[in-house]
């Protein structure tokens, strides 16, 4: 097999004539089962493995019984506790994976947790067995994080194989949690569902709980955020909006956008960004949203995402999700009073707004996209669009500079766990023969080396897969420093964040506009629609919420704003058909719904009592202008 890094032979002592030849390759963990002359091979993909941990036996308490080997318990290696069993020379390597499992009764797939236990007892000393387990551990860690494997692993020399061996960027993650997001269960979900996975992946973090509106925004704006390697938000799309705009309120915004990616754990009502990221990866998000999103954060592949620069008469904002006017925006803002019921608030208020249907008068200009089929990232053309002098004071700026930090505008306040999933290849369980396990995820596998295969230079034993993983505890969490719920004063440069004053002198930086100023005429080649509208809604993600597939053809960085327009004259029956189709994307078959791919637009509503929203946050009602900023942000993905 090409690319084999490590290989070993293991046995299941409860099954005679059954041998597992385990190979670790660059693609994954290959398990070749040889039993009674038949051979079956299953592979666990590297991308499905989140981490591994070296263990040793725990001293038994009370009477023990040799006829119950399944009663074996383990503790963390180098834990320093007095519970270690010095009579057992075995070293155990636990490998944690989340693999895809298909279901015959219910169509579809989901990710489920699987634990593979490799028991190393080939040598007659515990230290030698543990060293072999550490070789495998370090190799797995390097492969899962995309880092080169040290020579000490490949050559089996005396190099550093300690658990503290650095693999890539070891900085902690910054976690900002909004305890009031959605139904208010973000803190509980994080502790019960996210922390165990981060512990398995050996990812350290610092947790800060938001205390007031704009806490996350001001935290990102004022603190030394480069001490962390990424920002994870736990909540809904509102806290994502705060964090991204806080980044652009820094003078070093270019470095921030280049170096720090944003990850999302969905605990809000809408969760449009989290669903869009998983949808792009074709992950089974709906089965377990928190798990799927946490796996994205663990893998932490940085992928570009389009942002949209939004300008109103009083402020400049950077949007990652949508700009809305009319029907959907009314539902979003007016349903806030039903926040306690979670995402169902949108359904309830949709019925109310459908009964009391409103129309709005206004003008909509837009610049059509010329590459909606190619899906290539676009940048606004200087030859096509006129630069706004009011937001670009540096007239000597060179054209090849992609995002000059010259745009300044005063900013006003914005008002803005034990479930398992699985993706990957099928694996084998100790309780199933491989023939019956094909196409199924393997729950636990306990393999051991066998001393009958001793060589003159290496007295051997054997290793492999163990216990009931679905019911197993997360061995690494108790007393682990990866569960870091810290006080804000315990970290340098992170003293508490004061609430933002209404007239705070905060400036918005970021790439300057390539469009005419908001109060100047639009270019003559822009298209115009005017009259009465039921709604105008622009999106740059596939989903506005976890069950709202708004722009099915959208990509995270396709260089397109998907502008949906519904004019007056639509019947309530047609609008109901539109709403019912939002969950599957069939709303675009409604004859009154017009989806237009654009790169910029300007909306001028006539005075009324409606709502304008940016990423679900209400903004000043009046003229608004938006332009695409391709690939400006980075998000965490698999």
Q: Express each pLDDT in 151-179 by its tens digit.
A: 777 777 666 566 556 666 778 999 999 99
| Beta strands in 151-217, from DSSP E residues, in sequence order | 173-177, 205-209
Mean pLDDT of all residues in 127-138: 92
Give the CA-trace dihedral at 338, 339, 344, 346, to 10 degrees: 80
**pLDDT given at position 62:** 53
Q: How far is CA 495 from the centre of its chain?
A: 27
Can you say whether residue 326 is alpha, beta or left, with left for phi > 0 and alpha for psi between -120 and 50 degrees? left
297 touches 224 (CB < 8 A): no
Residues 6+ apart with CB under 8 A from 555: 280, 375
* Max Cα–Cα distance, the chain, nearest Å: 90
Sign for the CA dihedral angle at 192, 294, 280, 140 comes to negative
Q: Which fold has domain 173-305?
A: Rossmann fold (3.40.50)
377 vs 557: CA distance, rounded Å: 6
Can you say whether residue 556 is alpha, beta or left, with left for phi > 0 and alpha for psi between -120 and 50 degrees? alpha
638 touches 296 (CB < 8 A): yes
pLDDT digits 0-9 by tens, 269-321: 889 999 999 999 999 999 899 999 999 999 989 999 999 999 999 999 999 99
Helix (H) and strand (E) counts for the chain?
13, 28
156 vs 177: CA distance, rounded Å: 43
- Confirm whether 237 is a catalytic residue: yes
Instruction: Return the CATH architecture of domain 322-415+509-630.
Output: Sandwich (2.60)
Write down how long the chain is: 638
Q: Is the pLDDT of residue 366 over 60?
A: yes
Of the listed ranges 333-342, 486-495, 598-607, 618-627, the one predicted with least confidence: 486-495
Return the closest-CA partner of residue 479 out of 113, 72, 49, 80. Answer: 80
Q: Which helix (H) or strand (E) holds 573?
A: helix 572-581
Return the closest-CA partner of residue 121 out of 161, 91, 152. Answer: 91
Catalytic residue among 237, 430, 446, 615: 237
11 touches 22 (CB < 8 A): no
577 vs 592: CA distance, rounded Å: 11
Q: Is the pLDDT of residue 445 over 90?
A: no
Give the chain's mean pLDDT. Answer: 78
pTM for the complete prediction? 0.80
pLDDT digits 0-9 by tens, 219-252: 999 999 999 999 999 999 999 999 999 999 999 9
End-to-end CA distance of the chain: 26
491 vs 485: CA distance, rounded Å: 11
Mean pLDDT of all residues in 365-394: 49
**Residue given tokens 């009319």 in the structure block:** 326
289 vs 266: CA distance, rounded Å: 7
Domain ranges of the chain: 4-166+431-465, 173-305, 322-415+509-630
**pLDDT given at position 470:** 31
Q: How many CB atoms lie within 10 A of CB 621?
A: 16
Q: Is the pLDDT of residue 393 over 80?
A: no
Q: 516-542 burial, b for 16+ CB within 10 Å, e for fewer?
A: bebeeebeeebeebeeebbbbbbbbbb
Q: Do domains 173-305 and 322-415+509-630 have the same CATH topology?
A: no
């Amino acid at each position: 097999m090409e690319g084999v890094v490590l290989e070993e032979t293991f046995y299941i002592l409860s099954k005679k004539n059954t041998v597992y030849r385990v190979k670790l390759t660059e693609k994954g963990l290959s398990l070749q089962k040889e039993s009674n002359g038949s051979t079956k091979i299953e592979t666990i993909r590297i991308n499905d493995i989140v981490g591994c941990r070296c263990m040793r036996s725990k001293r038994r308490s009370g009477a023990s019984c040799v006829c119950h080997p399944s009663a074996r318990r383990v503790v963390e290696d180098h834990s320093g506790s007095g519970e270690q069993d010095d009579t057992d020379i075995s070293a155990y390597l636990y490998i944690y994976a989340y693999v895809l499992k298909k279901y015959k009764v219910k169509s579809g797939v989901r990710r489920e947790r699987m634990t593979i236990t490799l028991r190393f007892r080939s040598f007659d000393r515990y230290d030698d067995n543990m060293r072999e387990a550490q070789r495998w551990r370090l190799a797995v860690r390097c492969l899962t994080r995309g880092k080169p494997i040290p020579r000490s692993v490949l050559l089996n020399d005396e190099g550093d194989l300690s658990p503290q061996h650095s693999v890539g960027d070891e900085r902690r993650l910054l976690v900002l949690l909004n305890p009031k997001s959605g139904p208010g269960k973000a803190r509980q979900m994080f502790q019960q569902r996210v922390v165990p996975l981060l512990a398995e992946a050996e990812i350290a973090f610092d947790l800060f709980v938001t205390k007031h509106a704009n806490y996350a925004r001001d935290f990102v704006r004022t603190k030394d955020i480069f001490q962390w390697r990424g920002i994870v938000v736990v909540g809904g799309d509102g806290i994502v909006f705060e964090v991204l705009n806080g980044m652009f309120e820094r003078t070093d915004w270019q470095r921030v956008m280049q170096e720090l990616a944003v990850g999302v754990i969905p605990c809000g009502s809408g969760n449009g960004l989290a669903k869009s990221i998983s949808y792009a990866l074709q992950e089974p998000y709906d089965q377990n949203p928190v798990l799927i999103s946490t796996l994205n954060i663990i893998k932490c592949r940085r992928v570009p995402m389009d942002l949209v620069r939004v300008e109103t008469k009083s402020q400049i904002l950077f949007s990652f999700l949508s700009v809305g006017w009319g029907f959907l925006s009314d539902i979003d803002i007016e349903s806030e009073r039903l926040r306690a019921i979670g995402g169902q608030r949108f359904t309830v208020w949709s019925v109310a707004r459908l009964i009391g249907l409103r129309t709005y008068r206004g003008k909509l200009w837009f610049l059509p996209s010329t590459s909606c089929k190619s899906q290539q990232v676009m940048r606004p053309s200087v030859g096509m669009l006129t630069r706004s002098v009011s937001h670009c004071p540096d007239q000597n700026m060179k054209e090849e500079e992609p995002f000059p930090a010259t745009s300044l505008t005063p900013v006003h306040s914005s008002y803005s766990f034990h479930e398992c999933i699985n993706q990957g290849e099928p694996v084998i369980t100790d309780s199933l023969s491989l023939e019956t396990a094909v196409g199924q995820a393997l729950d636990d596998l306990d393999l051991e080396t066998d001393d009958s295969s001793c060589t003159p230079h290496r007295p051997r034993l054997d290793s492999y897969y163990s216990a009931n993983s679905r019911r197993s505890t997360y061995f690494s969490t108790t007393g682990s420093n990866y569960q870091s719920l810290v006080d804000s004063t315990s970290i340098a440069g992170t003293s508490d964040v004061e609430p933002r004053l209404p007239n705070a002198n905060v400036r918005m930086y970021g790439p300057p506009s390539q469009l005419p100023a908001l109060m100047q005429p639009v270019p003559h080649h822009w298209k115009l629609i005017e009259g009465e509208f039921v709604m105008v809604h622009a999106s740059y993600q596939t989903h506005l919420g976890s069950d709202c597939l708004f722009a099915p053809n959208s990509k995270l960085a396709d260089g397109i704003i998907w502008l949906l327009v519904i004019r007056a004259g639509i019947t309530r029956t047609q609008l109901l058909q539109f709403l019912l189709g939002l969950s599957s994307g069939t709303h675009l078959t409604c004859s009154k719904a017009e989806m237009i791919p654009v790169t910029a637009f300007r909306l001028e509503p006539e005075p009324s009592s409606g709502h304008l929203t940016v990423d679900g946050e209400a903004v000043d009602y009046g003229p608004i202008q938006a332009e695409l900023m391709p690939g400006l942000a980075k998000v965490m993905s698999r």
